Amino acid sequence: MTNALSFCYASGGMKSWVPALGLIGVGFFIAGCIIGGILGGQWLDEKLNTEPAFLILGLVLGIVVAFLGVYNMVKPILDNIRKGGKYN
């Protein structure tokens, strides 16, 4: 192991990255849901010539899916904290 890596492991620094990486994943999930909903809505609007109905519906659906997904990702962490455990 290099000196930088051994320092991170010895000081417990790598454990502090775990929650940060989880939050980055949540951010990508939110962005993916919203962008996917918008792109899907635009595609349907072009195919069915119903602009902007499906664009708005896709945006709303993407936001709802993102909210429910984030809730399901964060709920176990919050439950563990309430029981006196740690966040990781």
Distance CA 62, CA 33 (A): 5
The reply to whether 27 falls in a domain is yes
The reply to whether 66 falls in a domain is yes
pLDDT-based confidence at residue 5 (cuts at 50, 70, 90): very low
- Domain count within the chain: 1
The reply to whether 31 falls in a domain is yes
Q: Could you check whether the bond before residue 76 is cis, i.e. omega within 30 degrees of 0?
A: no
What range defines the domain where residue 48 resides?
15-82
pLDDT-based confidence at residue 84 (cuts at 50, 70, 90): confident
Report if pTM > 0.85.
no
The reply to whether 25 falls in a domain is yes
User: What pLDDT, on a 0 to 100 scale, did the predictor assign at position 85?
Assistant: 67
**How confident is the model over 29-77, as pLDDT tens digits?**
999 999 999 999 999 999 999 999 999 999 999 999 999 999 998 888 8
Using an 8 Å Cβ cutoff, are 37 and 65 in contact? yes
The reply to whether 5 falls in a domain is no
The reply to whether 20 falls in a domain is yes
